[in-house]
Amino acid sequence: MNRDYLQDALHTFNGGNWYGWKKEDDEGNKIPNSERMQYQYIKIIKDGATMPSEADVNAKIQELKAEESNQAVKSYITKRKTAYPPIGDQLDMLWHSIDKNPDLKTQYFDFYEAIKAVKVKYGKDD
């Protein structure tokens, strides 16, 4: 189901649950079902509620969309963060990849040699 941004935006005004939709226009003509849920047909059903301007409602809709977009970005960042292997494992994989390639050994000489020196000093049989 697609999110109903207009209604979600309207609920942020007047403490929520303040509006309904007109079924008839000012001349008493039935408004087609598919056309009712527009700003122009909002009716206030809550005491003390005031009608926000259409510009304010549209601004709120854009704000909700931006918020949702930010949450989607945060969502993939969090998923990746928890799925990555530990940093130590990542560096070890990197070192072994370099170890298999003479060109990379030269290109990343300092990194490769520093790790290798530790591996030699403390061999697996130690």
CB of 117 to other proteins, least distance (A): 46
> Number of residues in contact with other proteins, rule: CB under 8 A?
17
Q: Give kind and range of the element (H or E) at residue 10.
A: helix 5-10
For the four alpha carbons of 48, 54, 58 and 63, in that order, the dihedral sign comes to negative
Closest contact distance (angstroms) between CB of 62 and other proteins is: 19
Q: Output the 3-class SS for 110-121.
A: HHHHHHHHHHHH
**Considering the complex, what minimum distance in angstroms separates the CB of residue 48 from other proteins?**
15
Backbone angles phi, psi at 44, to 5 degrees: -85, 130
Q: Which of 5, 13, 37, 64 binds other proteins (CB under 8 A)?
A: 37
CB of residue 119 vs other proteins: minimum separation in angstroms? 42
Of the candidates 39, 85, 81, the one whose C-alpha atom is nearest the C-alpha of residue 58 is 39
Site residues (CB under 8 A) for other proteins?
1, 4, 7-8, 11, 16-17, 19-21, 23, 30, 33-34, 36-37, 45
